[in-house]
Structure 1
Amino acid sequence: MVNRYEPFPTVHLPEPIRTMVEDGADAIGCDAAYIALPTLAALASAIGNTRRLRLKRTWHEPAILWAAVVGESGTAKSPAMALALQWTKARQDEAVRTHKAAMSDYQHAEQLHAVRHKAWLQRAGHATEPGPDGPPEAPLRPTCERTWTDDATTEALVALLSENPRGLLLATDELSGWFQRMDRYTGGKGGDAAKWLEMFGGRSVVVDRKGSGFVHVPRAAVSVVGSIQPAILQRSVGDTNRENGLLARLLLAHPPRRAREWTDRDLDERTVEAVGAVYARLYGLAMDTNHDGQHNPRTVILTPEARRRFVAFYNAHNAEQVALDGDEAAAWSKLEGYAARFALILHLTRWAAGEPIDPDAVDEPSMEAGIALVEWFGREALRVYGRFSEAEGERAYRELIELIERKGGAITVRELLMARRSRYAKAEDATDALDGLIHDGLGEWERVEQGPDGGRPTKRFRLHAGADTKPPIRGR
């Protein structure tokens, strides 16, 4: 059975992120989750490998999120993602411009080096004994900072990560391609999937290249966000991506469709600037460097209050998991770590927004907010998973109620016939379906009087507020 959708709890997002998500959703006419999920993934990637949260000596959680917005075509998924990722992409655009200028300088330096190297060879060739000076030092080829990519192949990702040790965001309008690449190397045995699961933990990844050695990334941090249609998600997940744990690691949101209306509302320029300042400060975080010159994440700890709150959540969460099995139990096992990841991301976002807090110690409010988000994602996972196993009658029952809700809570038989021609062949069929909702106590008929232009009075079905989308136990 599929529970009703709960709106995304934007109250747990720090300012100015909360205002951006809420105002952006109003401007686009979409659910707040469509903006919140890519925003959280973008914030995670801005932090990347620079910080990890220590829960105990053998348990550290990185700032890595995998999220999928699930929705039918035409539900404004793409404009919502574009709004949420504008700061991530703007930073990369600026980095590309800077790299072009650096490459111009590099090419000039390379030409000078070629002249100097030739002169050195000539001097060395005429010398009767070795001189004290060695060959001139070649200029270093500049690398371009990358913040995001849409190329999900592990070869391309590892090459980018080797030059961008803080990590990347994989952002794509259609996640089906990402799913398809999971087992492409070994005929369905999970070649790419194994590497992706390592990247979820920010662990070491090695990719062998035919004829050109291998590429090694000691900490491969990739946050993932994208959209996918419900039917494609169900097909893409399959048994393989359930069994290997990929589905359990994916934070899902599938808001119901709703009618969009034109609005002149838009993001305030001050909000855009404030969010940009948050990203600039997060991207300014640096990794620590040890005595060997290696870059490592800085360890962030929990305050005593935050630790007590996490321990209480951990115990309660695992008590819930005992009663679950299959996909639901697998999701619960990953959500406990996500609570820590959310707490780390939200805490550093609060710091970047100017709150006077210690960035190296996650406090109780950040942990509380992280737990609240995990609890919402847990309920949403159960709702989305429930759709995977819906019987045809259950699906028809839910979709009928959701259709009526999109029409403002009321519908006539004629409107239902027009909206569901393939399901209801004649007026009697549509009337029977609405009568069924009345029988279950979910609504009632109301009389619609004739308008000023005349016409016969008719009746309209009115859905009761808070009607349950689940059919009664006897089934319908």
Structure 2
Amino acid sequence: MSQKPENVNLDIENIEAMVNAIVETEKETYQDEWSFARECFPRSDFPWDVLPHGIDASLKQLARSCATSPLSLPGAAMTILSSTIGRKIDVSPKRSWKEPLIFWMVDIRESGEGKTHAARKLCNVLYDAQRQADKEYAERCEEEQAKPPKERKPVPRPKGFYTTSLTLEGLNHELSGHPTGGIVGVFDELSSFISGQNQYKSKGSDRESWLCLWDGKSARIIRAAASVSITGSRVNLFGGTQPKVWKQIFSSDKGIYLDDGTVFRFLPVYGGGGYCPLTDESWSEENQKAWEDTLLFALKWAGNQEETKSIVFDQEARNALTDWRNDLYADMDRLPEPIRGFIPKTISYAIRFSGILHCLEYFSIRTEPAPVIPVKTVQQGIRTATFYMGQTVDAMKALLHDEPHHVGRIPDEQALRLASALERLRPDTDNDRLAVGYIQEAYNADLPPVRQIRTSRAMGGIIRSCGLEVKPGKHNANGKRAVKCLSWNQKTETFLKQSLQCLQSLQSHS
């Protein structure tokens, strides 16, 4: 019986070793790329100081009144405001480059975490305007119907302010004769937008047309019955979805929504809101008015504009954008391939954010926007775009990985207040414990009664949502007997270090 030569076994072992080495190298490269993406785009709170003071206070209070995270509300607000302006403003960093005010936002959180209610409240002005426009249209139709047939005149369609369903055919019908081309799609479930793209087609896709519309370009769709042309539209949209559905949406059709760039046009907010207790606080009349009067002024201003107004960057602002853009592109090959596709759109969004923040600043004081955007506003636009890229890193990890992608709570206002309270209480630790009720008292200090946490159980929920540990059982600490206690350990120290660094950074920006 013949035997295998020994060198054959050695060759097989060498090949296996080489394959294993290649696999390990690829794993390390993959991990290094994602680590670099996180380094470039850290996960952080929204940069609230980019908003006018009355607007940021309004959005934060609205979120608290609905017991939800405020993280997605600035995006929803900017999307809604952009829809009121439509094509009456575009943003031009240089003569040959113009960006439309178009934003596509998605809030990715689990069911029951409050994605819908607060964002819908921001649309109240649009809801009222639509009801009034539809009422006037119905009245005019009745007036014409009462006339003899030969004297009747066609009644123009009412202006559309928002929609909860989007198809190209419907959009063409809705925007025919629209004075600004601006409309906002408001979706409780964003997947309905994706699935609705092919509602009237048995084959093919409308994706290319939607990509054109995101760019502010015209789209022409040929159907068997008739062609559809859409020109001058400014279709903004925002909506919510769950992490599993987010993955299903953009993994469908063999990942075509990844390959064709559809996903790159979305600005996600991914989880991390944490526990938000319900308090007695309401969205005050003053704060509601700050937002709604801004929106009403924008509607009125846009309605009075005959032509498109280009707002331009000054030279210093142009230099800031150019330097930031070139730095991103210089490192783009070090990023994971799925993240690289977002970089060109992030540049566009930074310009658009600069434009809408510029408009928001002026509309909030009932003034027409100045024709030139200064460098400070462009830096704010860049910071806003960077915030969304930090969210994008997590959203794409959730999309591409088989295992659920869990994120910790961002250092938001509630987490930073807890960190400040814990730092003050550091000398009072009792056998590496702090009574939850004792923390509650420090947390509530200087807060108005309507914002205070009223039970130690609710306080414990905030503590756990920040990744800190509440010891099992009940203990004696801080003069309180048989109570729940925070375990002061390395997690607490890490939380305090990161939170206080964030707080210092926010104070330096302010």
TM-score of the superposition, structure 1-length normalised?
Answer: 0.74
Deviations 1:407-462 (A, max 9, x none): 564446879xxxxxxxxxxxxxxxxxxxxxxxxxxxxxx9989x95799xx99996
CA contact 2:408–2:467 (8 Å) conserved in 1: no
Which residue pairs with 1:439 in the alignment?
none
Aligned partner of residue 305 in structure 1, secondary structure: helix
For 2:407 and 2:323, how far apart are their aligned partners in 1? 40
Whether the 8 Å CA contact 1:50–1:285 is kept in 2: the answer is: no
Q: Give the one of 137, 144, 147 matched to 1:112.
A: 147
Distance 1:460 1:59, change over 3 A: closer
- Structure 1 position 280, deviation (Å): 1.6
Answering whether residue 210 of structure 2 is matched by residue 181 of structure 1, we say: no
How many Å separate the matches in 1 of 2:256 and 2:113? 29
**Within the alignment, does 1:278 sit opposite 2:294 as a pair?**
yes
Query: In structure 2, what residue type is equivalent to 1:114?
Result: P
Give 2:240's aligned amino acid.
S
Q: Which stretch has the larger CA shift, 263-272 or 298-307?
A: 298-307
Higher helix share: 2
1:39 counterpart = 2:53: no
State the Cα distance separating 1:210 from its structure 2 match: 4.9
8 Å contact 2:183–2:234 — kept in the other structure? yes
Structure-2 separation of matches of 1:413 and 1:187 = 58
**1:275 Cα shift?**
1.7
Q: Which amino acid aligns with 1:44?
A: S
8 Å CA contact 1:20, 1:271 repeated in 2: yes
Matched, 1:159 2:194: no
Cα 1:79–1:376 shift into 2, 3 Å: same
Contact 1:173 1:227 in 2 (8 A): yes
In 2, Cα distance between equivalents of 1:454 and 1:368:
48
Aligned residue number for residue 212 of structure 2: 198
Q: Does 1:335 align with 2:346?
A: yes
Letter in 1 for 2:394: R
SS at match of 1:160: helix
Decide whether aligned partners of structure 1 residues 409 and 97 sit closer, same or farther in structure 2, where only a CA change above 3 A counts: same
Distance (Å, rounded) in 1 between the aligned partners of 2:141 and 2:202: 41
Give 1:186 shift.
Answer: 6.0
One-letter identity of the residue aligned with 1:381: T
Could you tell me which amino acid in structure 1 is paired with residue 282 of structure 2? D
Aligned residue in 2 for 1:347:
358
CA contact (8 A) 2:99 2:352 kept: yes
Q: 2:382 matched to 1:371?
A: yes
CA distance in 2, matches of 1:411, 1:369: 36
CA distance in 2 between partners of 1:6 and 1:364 (Å) = 23
8 Å Cα contact 1:103-1:142 kept in structure 2: no
CA contact (8 A) 2:354 2:377 kept: yes
User: 1:201-216 alignment to 2 at 5 Å?
Assistant: 201-208=215-222, 210-211=224-225, 213-216=226-229
Tell me how far apart the structure 1 counterparts of residues 224 and 403 of structure 2 sit (CA, whole Å): 49
Deviations 1:293-345 (A, max 9, x none): xx753222222332222222222232232322422001111000001111111
Aligned residues of 2:160 and 2:183 also touching (Cα < 8 A): yes
User: Alpha-carbon deviations, 1:336-380, whole Å to 9, x = none?
Assistant: 000111111111111111276753222222212111100111111
Taking the TM superposition and a 5 Å limit, the aligned residue runs for 1:63-78 are 63-78=101-116
CA RMSD, Structure 1 to Structure 2 (Å): 3.6
Alpha-carbon distance between aligned partners in 2 of 1:172 and 1:25, rounded to the nearest angstrom = 18
What does residue 233 of structure 1 align with? 246
Q: Partner residue of 1:258?
A: 274
Note closer, same or farther for the CA distance 1:396–1:48 as it changes in structure 2 (3 Å cut). Answer: closer
Query: What is the distance in 1 between the residues matched to 2:202 and 2:259?
Result: 16
Counterpart for residue 495 of structure 2: 466
**Equivalent residue for 1:148?**
162
**Residue equivalent to 2:44:** 6
Aligned partners of 2:79 and 2:104 also within 8 Å: yes
Q: 1:220–1:358: structure 2 CA closer, same or farther, 3 Å change rule?
A: closer
Preserved contact between residue 88 and residue 147 of structure 1 (Cα < 8 Å):
yes
Cross-structure match for 1:122: none
Aligned to 1:8, the other structure's residue is in SS state: coil
Native 8 Å contact 2:408 2:466 kept in 1: no
- SS state of the match for residue 112, structure 1? coil
Q: CA deviation at 1:197?
A: 0.5
1:244-265: per-residue Cα shift (whole Å, max 9, x none)? 1111110000132522322111
Aligned sequence identity (%): 20
Residues 54, 299 of structure 1: 8 Å contact kept: yes
1:226 shift after superposition: 0.3
Give the Cα separation in 2 of the matches to 1:244 and 1:358: 36
Separation in 2, partners of 1:393, 1:149: 32
> How is 1:33-112 mapped onto 2 (pairs within 5 angstroms)?
33-107=71-145, 111-112=146-147
Contact 2:298/2:363, CA 8 A, preserved across alignment: yes
Letter in 2 for 1:176: S
In structure 2, distance between residues paired with 1:115 and 1:357: 45
Which residue does 2:236 correspond to in 1? 223
What stretches of structure 2 of length at least 5 have no aligned partner?
A: 1-38, 410-460, 499-510
Superimposed CA distance per residue, residues 389-415 of structure 1 (whole angstroms, 9 cap, x where no aligned partner)? 4464985999xxxx9964564446879
Residue aligned with 2:155, SS? coil
Q: Secondary structure at the match of 2:90?
A: strand
Does the residue aligned with 2:264 lie in a helix, a strand or coil? helix
SS in 1 for 2:130: helix
Query: Alpha-carbon deviations, 1:124-165, whole Å to 9, x = none?
Result: xxxxxxxxxxxxxxx241321111101122211121122325
**Quick one: structure 1 residues 157 and 265, their matched pair in 2 at CA, closer, same or farther if it must change by over 3 Å?**
same
8 Å contact from structure 2 (residues 476, 483) kept in 1: no
The 5-angstrom pairing of residues 238-253 of structure 1 reads: 238=251, 239-253=255-269
SS at match of 1:346: helix
Paired with 2:237 and 2:47, the residues of 1 have a C-alpha distance of 21
User: Is the contact between residue 245 and residue 330 of structure 1 (CA under 8 Å) also seen in structure 2?
Assistant: yes
Residue 49 of structure 1: SS of its match in structure 2?
Answer: helix
1:25-61 Cα shifts (integer Å, max 9, x gaps): 2222222113222111101111111111123333210
Taking a change above 3 Å as real, the CA distance of residues 28 and 66 of structure 1, as seen in their structure-2 partners, is same
